[in-house]
Structure formats: C-alpha cells, structure tokens
Structure 1
Amino acid sequence: MRAPLPTANPAGDRISVSAPVVVFAEGAEWARLLPSQRIRVRGRLGPPDPGELTAGILLVRGPPEVLGGPSHPQRIAAALRAGLRRAAAVLPPDERGLLPGLVVGDVSLMDEQVAHDLKTAGLSHLTAVSGANLAVIAGTVIALGRVTGLPLAVRAVLAIAAMLGFAVVARPSPSVLRALVMGSVAAVALGTGRSRDGVTALSATILVLLLFDPALAREYGFALSVFATGGILVLAPRWRDRMAVRMPRWVAEAIAVACAAQAAVTPLLVLMAGQLEPVAIPANLLAGPAVAPATVLGFAACVVAAGSVEAAQWLVRPAGYAVGWIIWVARQAAGLPAATLPWPGGAVGLLLLAVIAITGWVVLRRAAWRLIVCAVAAGLVLATLFLRPVVAAWPPRNWLLVSCDVGQGDALVLAAGPARAVVVDTGPDPTLVDHCLRTLGVRRIPLLILTHPHFDHVGGLDGVFRGRPVGAVVVSPGHEPRQESARVAADLGRRHVPAWVASPGMTWTLGPVTLRILGPVPEAISAGPGEGAMANNASIVIHARWANGSALLSGDVENEAQAELLRQGLPPADILKVPHHGSARQDPAFLAATGARAALISVGAGNDYGHPAPLTLNRLRTLGMRVYRTDQSGDLAVITTQGHLAVLPRSPQH
C-alpha cells in the first residue's frame, strides 16, 4: 500500500511524501477494510529489505483507525460481493467457497483443501482474477452487442465499460489492473477497426505497466502473466493450425492454448519453485469449458443480488454445477501419481530443461520419431496410472498404523475397519491431515484422541472433521496452554461431539486394534520446567496392540513424565513413536524399557527446534532401533509381514 511518511530535512522542517510501504498487521478489523479507505495506524517503521522498491516495513500495533471512505463505487462493489456470497449460500460448502473466488477473487469462504487441490492441479490461477475473467466478461458483452446489431465502436466501448466495472467489483489488484490495461488496448484496436496485433498489445501493456510501477519487473506473478499471454499469442496459433489438420479446429485450439501457456511458464516455475506440473495441461483442458459459464452466471448473479437474492440464486445454481466440475477435476488431478515432479531449481534446472526441450524439438521433427515418442509417452502414462499402484501402491494393503507427514507436528492414523480409523492428533495444518486421511480412504472416525493442546498437535482439527463423522474425542486432563485448550474445547462444543478426559486404564477395541491409555499419570501433569514442558508432560500416552505386535504412542512427554511412566510399569512395544519429535529431553531408561525395534519420528524438514536431536538419534540406534523420519521418508506405515510388525516408508530415506 502507499502511505504518507513524515520525514525531516536538515533544517528541521517536517515534510510528507507518498511512498510504498509494506504493512504487517493482524486482526479481523483489517479484513473489513475496503479500497480507497483512509486509515491511521500506530506501529514501528523499519528499513526495507535490500533491493526492494519500498520505503520501509511497518509493523502495526492494534487495529486501524478509519478516517474516511470508502468511495461510493467501492461501497457498491462491496455490496455486490456480499450479495454474491449470500446468493451462493444455497450451494454445497465447496462450491459456495469457490464461486466467489472464481468470479471476483473473493476467497474468504474457500475451503483449504479445495485451494490445495487447485494449486496441485495447476488451476490456482482461476481464483486470481486476471485476464481470463476480463476476457470472458468482455467477450460476452461483445457477443451480445453483435447479436443486437451494435456498431463495432459501440461494442468496444461497452466492453471497456464492462471490464472497468468488473475490475472495481473484483478489487483493483495488480493482476486485475494488468489485465485491464491489456484488455483496453485490445478493445481500442477492435473499435478502430485496425488489425489486432496481440504481441504489440502485450508489449504496450508491459511498457505502460513498468513505467507506472517499476517494481513489477521483479514480481514472478507479473512475469508468469506475461509469459502465459506471450505463449498463447506466439505458440498457440501455430500449434493449433498444425493440429487442426487431424482434428476439429475448436479442439485443436483448446489443446494449443493450454499447452502453449504451460510451455511458456514452465521455465519460470522451475526458477521459482523447482518443480514441474505435468497434470496442469490436462486439468486445464478439462476444467476450461466450465470457467466461462461459471464466471458469466456468477457475475450476473452478483449484479442481480443487489435487487433480489432469491432471483440471483436461480443463476447461482447452474453456476454451481460448473464450479463443482472444476472442483472434481482438481481433486482427481491432485490425487494422481506424479501430479507435481521435483526438478532442480535455479540456473541448473533451467539449463537442464533447455537441453531436454531442444532434444525434444530435434527428435519430434521426424515423423517416424514422433510416433515412437508418442508410443513411449503413452506407455509411461499408462504405467504411472495403472501399473505403479499395483507394484508400489500407497497406502500398503492391510496397513495398521500410518504416521502422516504433516510437517512439524504429529498425526497418527490407526485402522479400525473398512474406511474407519482412529486418529491420534491432527498436526498443525488441516489441509495436510485431510489429504493423508483421503489417501488412506478414511471416511469415518469413531475415536479422535488429542494428546495435548499444542498447535502442532491440534491445529489441523478442521481437516479431520472435513466430511467425516467423528464418534467421540478424548482430550488430555492438562489445560496448558490455556488459550489453545479453550479454542479446542469451543470447537468441539460447536460440533456437538462428546469429549472425554483421558485417564489411565481406559481401553477400546476398534477393528484390529486395542488401545489402552497409560498416561498422563497425575504426578506428571504439572511436572517440567516451564509451561511448554508442563503441557508436553500432560500428553496422553497410548499402548496400541494388534495380533502380531504393539506400538507405544507417546505424544510429547518429556523426561519427567517418562520417568513416572517407567515407575508405573511400561509395557513393551515393537514400535515406538518417539516423544516430542525426537527432542533431546528423553529418559534413556524409558527408551530402553520399550524394547522397540523401530522408532517413528514425526518431524518437519528444516525446523527451527533442531528436532530430532543428534543425541536422541544416537541413543535410539545404540538401543538397536531402526529410525524412520517423516521429514526424510514422508508418510510411514506400520504393516504385518511374516508374522511381525514392520515399517514401510512411502519414499526411501535420504
């Protein structure tokens, strides 16, 4: 945002300048602000990062004080966006959240899993309102003008007016403004009757925008927009004409546009993220036909809702079918093997990509080689989709326990029958734990155990409840940290799920597993130095037993609680879920008493805590345990093989 900054010159006079400032703030009050509003804030101003074209970084304290505004157009725009949200309330939750995002970029109601699927499938650009949305709106206006017999110049003026109105409703973000400038250039070319040169229009847009805001030259978003548009303008027509010889022209154009855009942005994706998205092209081809009807019907509902929400809902319902199709495509694409492929980043990855592209161009110039390449590619696709799940399926058949890779946190899933599982902790991210449960095919959760109310164990609670009934929840008798404990209690109360406080001796048999609560023992609940250690020592400790072995699930207990458990009597186990992500605060006697042959450590790569500690790793290996880590191997499954338990990592350890 731009803000007036008071400064002082050597003479001591105060002056004000308008300069871009990066503002960091939090609170619900900020979400209610609208463009054009003037606010006053208090905070600490720091220097910008080196090389950034900003005047500084402002760390805001407290809520903003509104001084004036918003402007009348922005009030209308806010009312229209709110009307669309109210009209979309008749749709299922996933469609209700995506439709406003697809139409006007309002992602406030979007489900996190839907957003994750869109990103994985290469469809996240659909919620970043840009040229595609403006093209649909302008194209619809021009088509209606042509049907009604309006002159070319009038149609161009109406298209510009429609794009301006849409830009105001969708908020004038950088992507919208970029698309508006380019769309206006193209509309002027249309209205004057001159031949439209797309490359010239794109070049003019780039020049104008860089002169207006030089900082765009350093933004990947701007570069991705330019490269995608350039690919469509330069590559798509040639590819379309060649493919149109063997297929309908409209099919050739759809394939050419998707392939050209993806080919153009791939070098930037390698530089930016170090990965490739092979599913992006088919996903965009399948989802593309639904974008235009969803956008047109959604924007029409946005306008109609200002007069009657009930009338707008008649437009929203068919739009919901189109949005539902996009969600289904994203979900299927995101679930495919190799949806995203790791690739070397930086100059090395770019050079490798160039070598492969040049080699492919040379090979594909010969008709005979093209047939061979197509046959090999088809075989690889079939092998990836059908043979790989047979040879190396995930999850493994008849899995008993899976430690989900949820980053720096814990989320354990124990099989409890067909499509049923007991979940122990949820990790910090609802999307990650939901993805793990979906991969395992879990649709019902008879029991959820939250070992203690630390965010890295309960932050993903919404992901567990996403589309799955939960029978009951077991919580720790400890209440530290109190704020997180109160949040969890309120969330469970809102869901009307019975919550039981854990106590030693509680036992359940669910499917193939029998669970028995070992702790926390009362003496350990308040043990440990500091609030963090007290919360960890109040963790629920569970002994899980199957026909061919057992596992000890120890939450985050530290050495004080471990010693108490040892005094109470610790049953042996074949598998140990290492306490507290392998921290250094471990009782060697506790680790030895488990008698485990394998140790599971749920930990995030490159975490700031130094987990797992080298001392703990050495102790585990000295005791003869084989160590498995989620940061190195992803999800970890416990299975039965040759009459005993074994650990099967999803990917080989580094």
Structure 2
Amino acid sequence: MSSRPRPRRAVDLRERVKARIQQRSDRYRPKRPRGDDELLTPPANVWQGHSVELVIPAIAAWLAALLLIGLPAWASFLTAGIFVLIALSRKRILVAVAIAGCAVSVVVGLKVHGVTSGPLAEMAKRNATVSAELVVSADPRVKGELVFVEARIIAVNQLRLDAPVLVFARGDTWPTLLPSHHVKVSGRLGVAEPGELLAAVFMARGDPVVLTPPSTSHGMAGAIRSGLREASSVLAPAERGLLPGLVVGDVTNLSEDVKADFKTAGLSHLTAVSGANLAIIGGAVLLLGRLVGLTLVWRAVLVVVAMVAFAFVARFSPSVLRALVMGTVAALALGAGRQKDGVSALSVAVLLLLLFNPGLAREFGFALSVSATAGIILLAPYWRDRMATRMPLWCAEAIAVPAAAQVAVTPILVLMSGEIGLVAIPANLLAGPAVAPATIIGFLAAVTAPISMDVAQLVTRPAGLAVGWIILVADRAADVPAATIGWPGGLLGVALLVPLGIALWHRGARRVSLAVAGGVLVATLVAGPVVSGWPPSGWFMVMCDVGQGDAIVLHAGEGKGVVVDTGPEPDLVDACLDRLDVDAVPLLVLTHPHADHTGGLTGVLRDRPVGAVVVSPKRVVSPELAARRIPEWVVTPGTTWRFGDLVLTVVAPAPDAPSKGAGEGSVLNNASVVLHAKWPGTSALLAGDLETEAESALVRTLPQADILKVPHHGSARQDPAFLAAARSRLALISVGAGNDYGHPADSTLATLTMLGARIHRTDVQGDIAVVAREGVLAVVARGP
C-alpha cells in the first residue's frame, strides 16, 4: 500500500516553524568575538557573483577609454575587434569584459573620429579667423581675467556643423551666460590639446551677441542658483561665498582665502557637489515620503525625481553624474525590494558614464569621486565594526566614513600634487555634522528665492551658522603645523604608499609595514627640510615653478619681495612666496595681461600687503586691485625704485609705443614691461613675453645683465641679436612640463648655448634660486 504524499502547505508550515525555532536559538546563543582577520577581510559575497562580474568589466572599460582617447580613431576600432575575439572564449567573466571594452572602444573611436576630422579640425590647423555661432554647454569658469566656456559650434562662416570646442574669452558678458545660450562671436580657431575630445579651441574677440536665450529649464536652474547667491548676501562675506558652493557647487563668490584653507584642510570636496549632497537630498525626500505614507515604489520614484532635479540645478559635473547614476541604481533596487549592493551600483555607474562620456576616464575629479565612494563601501563598514567594540556605533561610523574616503583618494592626490594631508580626517570629522543641515536649509532657500526673496533670506540665516562652523574648522585645520606634507609625486609617490596599504589589510605584516611607513614619514617631515635647505641663504632672485607661466621674486629686504608676474594659479605663487617667507610685497609688476602671467594675482594678495602694481600700457583693469585700493601705475622707461640693495629700472615699453606683432597675442606680448634689476656685483634682465618685433627695437639700447629671464618661455620667436646683446651668463626659462606650445624651442636653446649661457628651466629643476657665493653666481634648484 503506497503512502499518500503530504500536502505541500504542511511541508512549508513545518519548514517555517523550524526556521523560527532556529532564529530564536541563534538570538540567545553567545556570539563568538570577531578577530582582527575577520574584521579586516571583506565578506566573501562582496567579491563574488554579480559584483565581480561588474567590477572587472568596469575597470577594463575605464582603462580602455583612458588609453584610447589619446590615440587615432583606428586604434579604438582595432581594440574593439580584439575585444570581440576575447568574447569567443565563452568564459563568463571574459565575455563581460569583452562586451564592456568593445562598447567603450567603439564609443571612443566614434568620438575621436568626430573631433579630428571634418572642416572645423582643418580650420583649427590653419588657425583660421572665423565668425561662429555657439551653444553654451556648461557654466563659464572664470580664472583671473580669462573666462573658459565649454560650447558646441553649430555654424562657422555660414557653414552648418556641430562640434565641441573650448572657448577662451574676456569681458563681463561671458560669465553671465547659461547652458543652452545661443550666441554669435568672432575669433580665431586653434588646435585642441592632445587627448581632449574637442574639435578645436576658440579664442573669442569681444563680447558675444546673444541670438536666443537659454531654455526654460536652464533658465529656471540659473534663477535658482542666482537666487541662492542673492539670499546668501545677508551672511558674512566668507559664509555668503561658501553656502552656494556647498549646496549647488556655485563658487562664484567664494574667496581665494577660503579656497586655500579648504584645500589645505582636505575639505575642497564640500564645494564640489557630489554623492554626499545627493544622499542628503535623497534621504530627506525618502523620510518625507515615509511620513506621508507612500509605498516603497513611490518613495523610490520620488527620490529619483528629487535627485535628478537637484543635479540639474547643481549642473552635471563628473561627481554629480557618478552619484546620480549610482543613486538611481540604488533607488531602483530599493523600489524592487532587492538588497542594495554598493559595489555593483558603483560599477554600473562607471560603465554607464564612460559610455555616455568616455572623456571622464581622464578626469581626476571623476577618479577622486569613484575612489572615495569605493573606500566608503569597502573599508568603512569594517573599520566601523572594529571601532564599535570600544565606542558607540554612531561615533565609530562618523570616524570610519571620512577615514575610508581619505585613504581611498590618497594615491590619486599624491599622483596629482605630491602632498599628503594630515589634518583631512579630523577636519572632515568635525565639519561633517554641519554639512547636512547647511545643504538642506540652503536648498530650501534656493527654491524659495524665486518666489520670495525675503523668506529665502530668513531661511538662509540658520544655514549661515552651519557654514560658519565649517569655515572655522577649515581655518583652524589649515593653521596646524605640517597640515600637509610633501610627498614624492607621480608613480613613485604612489609606490611609497604600498606599505601603508599592507598595514591596513594584512595583519601579519602590520608592524613591519607601519615601521616602514613611519620611517618614510619621519624622513619627509624632518630629514626633507634639512637636506633641501630651501630657501638657500643669500638668495636674491627666485624663479617660481608655476607651470606654463611666469612668477619671479626679487629679494627686497627681510620678509619682503618684489614680485614680477604671478603665474596662472593663485595657489602656486602663494606657496612659492610662503616657502621664501615673503610676508610683504612693496611692488608687484604685471608685465602684460595674459592669464599665465596674471592668473595668480589673488595668491600674491593673500594675507600680504602690496604697495603698488606696475602694469602694461595694454593693461586690463583688475577688480581685485580696485577692491583693495591698490594703485595701478603705467610707467615710462627710466623709472627707478630702490629696495635695500635692489635697484629696479624700467627698460620698456613707452606708453605711446606703436602696437606691433603677428597677431593679437603677439601685440600684448610685445607690450610687456621690461625690467633691469641690479644688486651689488650682479644684474638681471626680466623681459616678459617679448617677441621678435619688440626685441629688435630694443637691441641698441638694451642694458647688459648677468642673468636673462628668457622672453616668452623660450619660444621660437626670438631675435638672436637681442639674446646676444644681453651678454648674460645665466639664462632662466619659466616653462610648464609637457606644454603643447613646444616651449622652449630647440632653436632658442641652440642660440643660447652658442652664446655661452648656462640654461636653467623650471620644468626640469622646479623653483630656481640665484645666489652669490664668494663673488660667483650660483643656481640652487629646489626640484620639480
């Protein structure tokens, strides 16, 4: 007699009862304390299944885009074919890698072909002067007197096309443009930097003529951003500049001093909208949806809508795009009732963004954003669990999250700047609690401003308290001795971080690794300054390494220096003056109004009194100088000043000198202020960016000098007679490493060598100091 099978419902009920009993038994069973290895090792499911099947393809796609963007289009299509062959292996992970790599390779190939072929690329090679119609793609960025605008050219000389360009412009109208603005302007085309997905660069002449206003959506976003700036005007100057940056990434009014403090304290990420902002907005909306009783699906939809709207107002920067895609993936997982997998979400975000814009693969901002997120996902939970055995859970999490993010981005920061921030983790820990209330209240003020400015300003005031706390933390952290320490840059510096990484992950090698890392740290903090001995004693002239630009400091007494040009970036010249202990600038000379000579102006003005500024007859009025009531002088040849042992004399130009040059840029270069500096026993000729026309005119009256600041970064446009007339023993060239201008030119180097001058370059030697030792001129280089 066969037995009847039990009903399925009875079997399910028995299994559920057994599971409930087992859960209760586990709940009261003593838990085994977790050891170090268990805490520091990621759980198996992080690197299994879907996670690894997405991480490895994302990395492969990133590497493919990184390498292929700088190559011809055919290299991308060839790589896509190789990935197709890899897919034939039929191994699951290789097929995933091949699909991702092939897709990104094809996208890169199409984009590279699009920007390197066609009529616009040919015009750029000829440096053609054209009349163009542009559609603005992103908010203009202002650096000194120069405005950078990402745009698409849709017409050139009545020829219809569509190609991305980067616009270099001057004037008050350009910074007011919004994305989708349609304008018309004349200018000159130039070849874009290799590796950039641009068809050309466009040097605009004059103000643009607006053909059509921005779209309604961009106009609304612009109104919200400008409304927040206006609502913040009731706050103190530092707070009114930071709040829009903290909320929507608008740093228009953020002072250079606050920027410098944030950079030193490791808080710069707060002024770039990122995942933290979207998480705050998404969390607030999620909580609101729960309070009003929305279902899980509708809450997820509401979160996605809120994040997209916020990202639109904040603009789609690399960090915003990454966070938006990742947040959308997480929200969809939430709405579907699936467990959120941070590693998978991050991998999907990277893949989708590289397909949308492969140029992100070469942006440090994107790399920093992805690395910080990966550190928070992979490191923070385990560090939090480890610390939670000795402190409250909320405290452990508050420490673990910024620590994990900082550790993850450190290799990239070292690769970028050769520095390690020692105060970044405590500064982020202290500033963190104020970020969420400042962001939420600030965003409420932003959306209220177009409706009622009075209400918006009232709402802004409590946000000012939170922002004031963040500024205070940054200021105090930046003042800490050795807040940042020098570290070898490039791949060498990253390699020296390996012992630290081993110490964090491998228990057995921890003591040895920490000892090695401690030795490197001590050597950096103690032995480094002793060995380098910078600045050298007895220096009287230093050419600062500011990249592709000029910045020269002439010793003018204890703690004083005459500064000739400021380089392109405020932080670079500020750091050089700090290294030289220059606290006051009795005279600042801006040889001519090009950004690589004037862009760092605010860095010189940072916490230093400036007596007066000498400018070129072709000057552009500086709002920074006007705001500080610093006089601007246009001087004539023969004007002389004395600062201790230094005697400074103007050689050129005459205010009424005729404009000469091969183009607009050359006219400004030839109007450079030329100086003759003299100390007891030696002298220097500082020739700005003179080119052949102005040099030829000065040959007969040129004073001799032991030291020549080679004009125009050693370009090929030099008059050999001018170089010979100076009769200089030292030739100093301020030039950026790997610049696209071909500076210094081989012909100029050959001429200087033939004349018997010793050549020294900032791209090879870093800061260059000239000293006199026992009557002999000597050059001491700090190192690049």
Considering the TM-score relative to the shorter chain, is it more than 0.5?
yes
Residue aligning to 1:553 = 686
Match of 1:603 among 735, 754, 762: 735
Matched residue type, 2:212: V
Check conservation: 2:634, 2:655, Cα contact below 8 A.
no
Match of 2:642 among 509, 513, 520: 509
Question: Do residues 311 (structure 1) and 458 (structure 2) align?
Answer: yes
Match of 1:376 among 511, 516, 532: 516
Check conservation: 1:228, 1:262, Cα contact below 8 A.
yes
Residue aligning to 1:135 = 279
Match of 1:97 among 234, 238, 241: 241
The C-alpha deviation readout for 1:529-575, integer Å capped at 9, x for no partner, is 6566665555443332334533333334566766776644735x443
The Cα shift of 1:621 comes to 3.9
Matched residue type, 2:524: T
RMSD (Å), alpha carbons? 5.2
Check conservation: 2:504, 2:510, Cα contact below 8 A.
yes
SS of 1:471's partner is coil
The C-alpha deviation readout for 1:478-502, integer Å capped at 9, x for no partner, is x4xxxxx252478766654333333
Check conservation: 1:602, 1:629, Cα contact below 8 A.
yes
The Cα shift of 1:125 comes to 3.7
Residue aligning to 2:228 = 84
Distance in 2, Cα, partners of 1:40 & 1:141:
38
Distance in 2, Cα, partners of 1:416 & 1:459:
23
Matched residue type, 1:287: N
SS of 2:688's partner is coil
Residue aligning to 2:467 = 320
Distance in 1, Cα, partners of 2:252 & 2:471:
18
The Cα shift of 1:411 comes to 2.0
Question: Do residues 399 (structure 1) and 539 (structure 2) align?
Answer: yes
Residue aligning to 1:14 = none
The C-alpha deviation readout for 1:406-440, integer Å capped at 9, x for no partner, is 33332211222343321222334444334433443
Distance in 1, Cα, partners of 2:253 & 2:774:
49
| 1:490-509 correspondence to structure 2 within 5 Å | 496-509=629-642
| TM-score, normalisation: structure 2 | 0.63
SS of 1:241's partner is helix
Check conservation: 1:30, 1:64, Cα contact below 8 A.
no
Distance in 2, Cα, partners of 1:409 & 1:604:
7
Judged with a 3 Å threshold, the aligned counterparts in structure 2 of structure 1 residues 624 and 255 are, in CA distance, closer, same or farther, namely farther
Check conservation: 2:251, 2:271, Cα contact below 8 A.
yes
Distance in 1, Cα, partners of 2:199 & 2:732:
45
SS of 2:675's partner is strand
Distance in 2, Cα, partners of 1:218 & 1:489:
34
| 1:102-501 correspondence to structure 2 within 5 Å | 102-111=246-255, 123-139=267-283, 163=307, 166-167=310-311, 169-171=313-315, 175-176=319-320, 178-180=322-324, 182-183=326-327, 186=330, 196-199=340-343, 214-215=355-356, 219-220=360-361, 225-226=369-370, 228-245=372-389, 249=393, 252-254=396-398, 256-258=400-402, 260-261=404-405, 269=412, 275=416, 279=420, 283-304=424-445, 306=449, 307=452, 308=454, 309-325=456-472, 327-328=474-475, 329=477, 336-338=484-486, 341-343=489-491, 361=502, 365-367=506-508, 369-397=509-537, 399-476=539-616, 479=617, 485-488=618-621, 496-501=629-634
Distance in 2, Cα, partners of 1:431 & 1:488:
22
The Cα shift of 1:300 comes to 0.7
Distance in 1, Cα, partners of 2:316 & 2:323:
10
Question: Unaligned regions of 5+ residues in structure 2, if any?
Answer: 1-136, 139-150, 155-160
Distance in 2, Cα, partners of 1:560 & 1:190:
69
Judged with a 3 Å threshold, the aligned counterparts in structure 2 of structure 1 residues 616 and 79 are, in CA distance, closer, same or farther, namely closer
Judged with a 3 Å threshold, the aligned counterparts in structure 2 of structure 1 residues 518 and 378 are, in CA distance, closer, same or farther, namely same
Residue aligning to 1:482 = none
Q: After alignment, is 78-87 or 163-172 more displaced?
A: 163-172
The C-alpha deviation readout for 1:64-108, integer Å capped at 9, x for no partner, is 54378514xx66654443332123335565554333122112233
Distance in 1, Cα, partners of 2:595 & 2:183:
33
The C-alpha deviation readout for 1:433-453, integer Å capped at 9, x for no partner, is 344334434343221223344
Judged with a 3 Å threshold, the aligned counterparts in structure 2 of structure 1 residues 363 and 520 are, in CA distance, closer, same or farther, namely closer
Matched residue type, 1:100: P
Equivalent residue pairs, number: 610
Distance in 2, Cα, partners of 1:95 & 1:393:
39
Q: After alignment, is 526-535 or 426-435 more displaced?
A: 526-535
The C-alpha deviation readout for 1:592-645, integer Å capped at 9, x for no partner, is 665544322222334455433444434444554322111211221223434554
Distance in 1, Cα, partners of 2:198 & 2:672:
47
Match of 2:744 among 591, 612, 624: 612
The Cα shift of 1:327 comes to 4.3
Matched residue type, 1:545: K
Judged with a 3 Å threshold, the aligned counterparts in structure 2 of structure 1 residues 381 and 265 are, in CA distance, closer, same or farther, namely closer
The Cα shift of 1:253 comes to 3.7
| TM-score, normalisation: structure 1 | 0.73
Distance in 1, Cα, partners of 2:254 & 2:763:
29
Distance in 2, Cα, partners of 1:133 & 1:242:
27
The Cα shift of 1:25 comes to 5.8
SS of 2:424's partner is helix
SS of 1:287's partner is helix
Judged with a 3 Å threshold, the aligned counterparts in structure 2 of structure 1 residues 593 and 630 are, in CA distance, closer, same or farther, namely same
Matched residue type, 2:675: I
Judged with a 3 Å threshold, the aligned counterparts in structure 2 of structure 1 residues 57 and 388 are, in CA distance, closer, same or farther, namely closer
Q: After alignment, is 547-556 or 164-173 more displaced?
A: 164-173
Check conservation: 2:569, 2:599, Cα contact below 8 A.
yes
- Identity across matched positions, percent: 49
Check conservation: 1:121, 1:279, Cα contact below 8 A.
no
Question: Unaligned regions of 5+ residues in structure 1, if any?
Answer: 7-18, 480-484
The C-alpha deviation readout for 1:359-404, integer Å capped at 9, x for no partner, is 964996454x422322332232233224422332433345322112
SS of 1:279's partner is strand
SS of 1:402's partner is strand
Judged with a 3 Å threshold, the aligned counterparts in structure 2 of structure 1 residues 336 and 400 are, in CA distance, closer, same or farther, namely farther
Distance in 2, Cα, partners of 1:587 & 1:649:
28
Judged with a 3 Å threshold, the aligned counterparts in structure 2 of structure 1 residues 284 and 34 are, in CA distance, closer, same or farther, namely farther
SS of 1:375's partner is helix
Distance in 2, Cα, partners of 1:232 & 1:25:
37
Judged with a 3 Å threshold, the aligned counterparts in structure 2 of structure 1 residues 606 and 76 are, in CA distance, closer, same or farther, namely closer
Judged with a 3 Å threshold, the aligned counterparts in structure 2 of structure 1 residues 319 and 622 are, in CA distance, closer, same or farther, namely same
The C-alpha deviation readout for 1:317-359, integer Å capped at 9, x for no partner, is 31332331464447879973325721179xxx9xx79xx8599
Q: After alignment, is 402-411 or 116-125 more displaced?
A: 116-125
Check conservation: 1:404, 1:410, Cα contact below 8 A.
yes
The Cα shift of 1:651 comes to 0.8
Judged with a 3 Å threshold, the aligned counterparts in structure 2 of structure 1 residues 214 and 587 are, in CA distance, closer, same or farther, namely closer
Judged with a 3 Å threshold, the aligned counterparts in structure 2 of structure 1 residues 123 and 294 are, in CA distance, closer, same or farther, namely closer
Distance in 1, Cα, partners of 2:698 & 2:166:
45
Check conservation: 1:102, 1:295, Cα contact below 8 A.
no
